[in-house]
Amino acid sequence: MKEIVYFVPPPGAPAPLEKSVFRTVRFNEVDPMGILWHGHYVGYFEDARVALGDSLGIGYTDFFNRGITLPVRQMSVDYLAPLTFGRTYEIKARLFYCDAVRMNYDFTIYDDKHKICTRGMSVQLLVDQNKNLLLERPDFYEKLVQNWKEGKIK
């Protein structure tokens, strides 16, 4: 199977930052066939995205406390193999470097044999309290980006 590529970083960009979480499919999340309902996959992606952001000091609360929200501009999910009731899966989020004021994430869900079950992506924008799109990164996020580019964060 050909690899799904959502983002092509600019030349010289640092490697994506990543974090994995593990989650077991619960009974209330499955359809009558015992398969995770398609709308819940986004929540699994969100678990990994939140863990990654929080680990870097750029979580939702870090932005919100500075009057910034992160609306999703774009999202897609590629369902490759079903997630089933009672099984535990690894969800990996990766944040890709981008010159624009936005956050490009891709996601991969693996089963216990490290087979890829699901891939996806999201693009989030940065918006102030008046719903104006930010055209510059806030200082705390810019500092992280600079450290990332300098190889101080991996």
How do residues 99-129 score in pLDDT, each as one tens digit? 999 999 999 999 999 999 999 999 999 999 9
Ordered DSSP codes for the chain: -PPP----PPTTPPPPEEEEEEEEPPGGGB-TTSBB-GGGHHHHHHHHHHHHHHHHT-SHHHHHTTT-B--EEEEEEEE-S--BTT-EEEEEEEEEP-SSSEEEEEEEEE-TT--EEEEEEEEEE-B-TTSPBPSS--HHHHHHHHHHHTTS--
Evaluate whether residue 12 is within a structural domain: no
Q: What is the pLDDT of residue 3?
A: 79
The mean pLDDT value for 16-38 works out to 97
Evaluate whether residue 46 is within a structural domain: yes
Distance (Å, whole) CA 141 – CA 127: 13
Q: Would you say residue 147 has pLDDT above 80?
A: yes
Per-residue pLDDT band at 4 (split at 50, 70, 90): confident
Whether residue 100 contacts residue 141, with contact meaning beta carbons closer than 8 Å, is answered with no
User: Which residues span the domain enclosing 69?
Assistant: 17-149
What is the percent of the chain where pLDDT is above 70? 99
Predicted TM-score (pTM) of this structure:
0.94
CATH number at residue 75: 3.10.129.10
Evaluate whether residue 154 is within a structural domain: no
Evaluate whether residue 64 is within a structural domain: yes
Q: What is the pLDDT of residue 154?
A: 79
The mean pLDDT value for 71-80 works out to 97
Strand 88-96 to 17-24 pairing: antiparallel
| Total number of domains constituting the chain | 1
Per-residue pLDDT band at 2 (split at 50, 70, 90): low
Evaluate whether residue 84 is within a structural domain: yes
Evaluate whether residue 2 is within a structural domain: no
Evaluate whether residue 9 is within a structural domain: no
Facing residues of 89 across strands?
Answer: 23
The mean pLDDT value for 11-17 works out to 95
Evaluate whether residue 107 is within a structural domain: yes
Predicted confidence (pLDDT) per residue in 39-65, tens digit: 999 999 999 999 999 999 999 999 999
Q: Would you say residue 6 has pLDDT above 90?
A: yes
